Amino acid sequence: MVAIIVAGGFATILNQTVMGTALPSVMDEFGINAAKGQWLTSVFLLVNGLMIPVTAFLINRYSTRQLFLSSMGAFIAGSVLAIVAWRFEVLLLARILQAMGAGVMLPFVSVMLMLIFPKERRGFAMGIAGIVIGAAPAIGPTLAGLLVDLHNWHYIFIAFTPVCVAVMVFAVIFLKNIGDRKETHLDLISVVLSTVGFGGLLYGFSAAGSAGWLHWQTWGSILAGGITIIFFVRRQYRVDKPLLDLRVFRYRDFTMSTVLVSIVGLGMTVGSVITPIYLQTALGYSAMKSGLLLMPAGLLMAAMSPVSGTFFDRFGPRALTITGLGIITVGTLMLGRLSLHSSEAYLIISYTFRMMGISFVNMPLNTWGINALPNRKIPDGNAITNTARQVTGSMGTAILVTVMVMVAGLLADRGSPEAMVQGVNAAFNGAAIATGAALALSILKVDRGKKKVKRKEDER
């Protein structure tokens, strides 16, 4: 069952990042510019963010088999549509269908593994989940680059669709229902508010990269989204059966872990976006070569996730968090010292070192926060954490990409490649400030996580 759940999650979530290296090929085929083409990635993240708050209700309301099979079905339908896409709009619709399935699968994997494993083994369980949540997006650009250079962008979907179909067949045969179903109520007003609120924020920060921060489309969407989120939060505390139980923030460890996980997610997303820009735009590397240079980091992250989970079970979160955030900060500062003459060895070491730090903290931090919650609140906790990760990743990427573009524009007299490198350095230095702040916060606030929970509801 663990193999089926992890395989399904890996195949769906990997598609978050596959379109980045494929974008030039898509632009050539459909005759579109980058501002329009980038929506193939932005809309995927956007729909992910919209689906996640509803997932807590879906996990409580529907059986494991129903939810897994329907999510995989939606993803496969989108993949098949992408294979035969004859217009850009059709490909965009295909990405929306894929994102609907992946948006449910993202928190589903974590929740199911938390319920399968006992509490004392949850660190290992979340290490396995870390392969999905952390390593899949990191490996995506590498695999996509190989397929695009060897064939064309259609083969990204041709390669993964049979795997997803096989996973679905095994799920029909072997997957069992986990946990108890609850007759929960879906507050439709909260669904609308969360859709408009999170959708507005994600759309606004995604549009900032192309339209600019002063464009009405950017600030209008962010303002509307922010105001709507305020109404959404107020409603969650007023209704008897909220869409998201925000009362989980009463648990101090969960709140702190959510803040730190969001910053780590920002660092991972920024690295996967900005590093390929440096390689392909400043250095002129092909999609396949840039993907191959990033592959060691993705493989190491996949290998280290279960190991870091085992360390968490033995030693708790404090040592892992401080060590991991220290490594991330140093690795990010190293990437902030790039030039047109930086060696491939320096780039591989810096990027891989940084991703190793992320594997140390990504899932252990999440486990530390979830362990602070009673079992009945785990779906809400996971939905909140994943929503925060998506929103922060989108916001942080948009802000730092804007910094990169602004710095490159100010230094345009130095020549386009050199100016772009300085913009990339500025973006990574900004990310290092964020991770450095998280490191300081972890030193002050993260404990060993070995205190016994005395509340009877936690035992339940």
- Residue 383: which CATH number? 1.20.1250.20
Q: Among 217, 242, 267, where does a domain finish? A: 242
Considering the domain architecture, whether residues 226 and 269 belong to the same structural domain is answered as: no
What is the pLDDT at residue 413? 67
Q: What is the pTM of this model?
A: 0.76
Tell me whether residue 69 is exposed, middle or buried, using C-beta atoms within 10 angstroms of its C-beta: 0 to 12, 13 to 18, 19 or more: middle
Considering the domain architecture, whether residues 345 and 234 belong to the same structural domain is answered as: no
Considering the domain architecture, whether residues 270 and 237 belong to the same structural domain is answered as: no
What is the pLDDT at residue 458? 45
The DSSP output letter for 281 is I
What is the pLDDT at residue 64? 83
- Count how many domains the chain has: 2
Whether residue 459 is contained in a domain is answered as: no
Q: Where are the beta strands (DSSP E) in 191-337?
A: none
Whether residue 12 is contained in a domain is answered as: yes
Whether residue 457 is contained in a domain is answered as: no
Considering the domain architecture, whether residues 136 and 194 belong to the same structural domain is answered as: no
Considering the domain architecture, whether residues 268 and 355 belong to the same structural domain is answered as: yes
What is the pLDDT at residue 180? 65
Whether residue 460 is contained in a domain is answered as: no
Number of other CB atoms surrounding residue 250 within 10 Å: 9
Considering the domain architecture, whether residues 385 and 268 belong to the same structural domain is answered as: yes
What is the pLDDT at residue 453? 41
Lookup: tokens for 396: 């942080």
In terms of residue numbers, what domain contains 195? 187-242
What is the pLDDT at residue 31? 85
What is the pLDDT at residue 459? 43
In the chain, what's the furthest Cα-to-Cα distance?
66
Considering the domain architecture, whether residues 338 and 403 belong to the same structural domain is answered as: yes
What is the pLDDT at residue 457? 43
Considering the domain architecture, whether residues 131 and 236 belong to the same structural domain is answered as: no
Q: Give the list of residues 6+ apart from residue 31 with CB closer than 8 angstroms, or none.
A: none
What is the pLDDT at residue 454? 40
Blockwise average pLDDT, block size 10, the chain, 460 residues: 85 78 80 71 75 77 86 93 92 92 81 77 71 69 80 87 92 82 76 84 71 82 92 89 84 91 82 80 81 81 78 84 93 92 91 88 83 81 79 74 79 76 91 92 78 43
